[in-house]
Amino acid sequence: MAIRAIRGATCLTADDSAEMAEAVGELVSAMLSRNGVSRHDVISLFLTGTPDLRCAFPAAGARLHGMQDVPLMCAQEMNVQGALEKVVRIMAHVETDHTRAEIHHVYLRGAEVLRADLPHAPETKS
């Protein structure tokens, strides 16, 4: 079993805590699902938000969606001029048998433009 990092990002339409909780939950769920990882395999989550997101900690959304016993850390993303706004990014450290090449990074709700070099699975509505 190896430790791998899974990256993901999602965009919000507004600085709204309910939308953030929903978007973070959707992203965490998609990151685990697309990589065949259970929440019990998650070692830690590192979450960032762009400086225009001040409504809530992204980690609060992750806790609402099953990450109560996982160490979480939040930080503010760098304030780069012209960067995509209202973005939450996640780096999940997980235990998995997948190789690095088999890891599927997940970008949702317009964040796909951040990694146009990656193949993106179509969004699913829950």
Q: Which tokens is 86 given? A: 């209202």
Give start and end residues of each alpha helix (H) in 7-92: 17-34, 58-64
Do residues 20 and 75 make contact, with C-beta atoms less than 8 angstroms apart?
Answer: no
Domain chopping of the chain, boundaries: 2-115
pLDDT in tens, 51-93: 999 999 999 999 998 899 999 999 999 999 999 999 999 999 9
For residue 126, the model assigns a pLDDT of 39
For residue 110, the model assigns a pLDDT of 79
Rounded-to-integer distance, Cα 89 and Cα 111, Å: 9
- Spell out the CATH class of 2-115: alpha beta
For residue 122, the model assigns a pLDDT of 52
